[in-house]
């Protein structure tokens, strides 16, 4: 049962990462890293495919080895957080518009403090 749940979560994360390729406000690499985590617990073959991927494999290995995020990745994430917070402030009424701002501040602070690869 647990293996099936991890497999389903891995495919869900991979699907969200694929959507993130098309939508600039949805991050791709964190979802691929999450998918690799889930596949490591459910399907070693799928995990190996992600680790061997020419674009995402490097990011997954850096995260696993050092908890590191590339400078470009940090910048992209912070820009996406800022854009999401701005859209929330414009489109949502108070106090709901403060939720994207809080998420951006918390998530952005955490990303900023990770080591650089």
Spell out the SS3 assignment of the chain: CHHHHHHHHHHHHHHHHHHHHHCCCCCCHHHHHHHHHHHHCCCHHHHHHHHCCCCHHHHHHHHHHHCCECHHHHHHHHHHHHHHHHHHHHHCCCCCCHHHHHHHHHHHHHHHCCCEC
Sorted by where each begins, the domain ranges of the chain are 2-66, 71-112
pLDDT in tens, 42-57: 999 999 999 999 988 9
- The predicted model scores a pTM of 0.76
pLDDT in tens, 31-84: 899 999 999 999 999 999 999 999 889 989 999 999 998 898 888 888 888 888
């Amino acid at each position: 049962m647990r293996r099936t749940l991890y497999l389903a979560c891995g495919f869900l994360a991979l699907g969200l990462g694929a959507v993130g390729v098309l939508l600039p406000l949805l991050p791709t690499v964190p979802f691929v890293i999450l998918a690799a985590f889930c596949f490591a617990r459910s399907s070693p073959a799928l995990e190996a495919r992600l680790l061997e991927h020419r674009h995402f494999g490097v990011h997954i290995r850096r995260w696993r080895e050092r908890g590191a995020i590339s400078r470009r990745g940090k910048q992209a994430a912070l820009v996406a957080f800022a854009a999401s917070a701005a859209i929330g402030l414009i489109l949502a009424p108070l106090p709901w518009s403060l939720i994207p701002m809080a998420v951006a501040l918390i998530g952005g602070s955490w990303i900023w403090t990770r080591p650089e690869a």
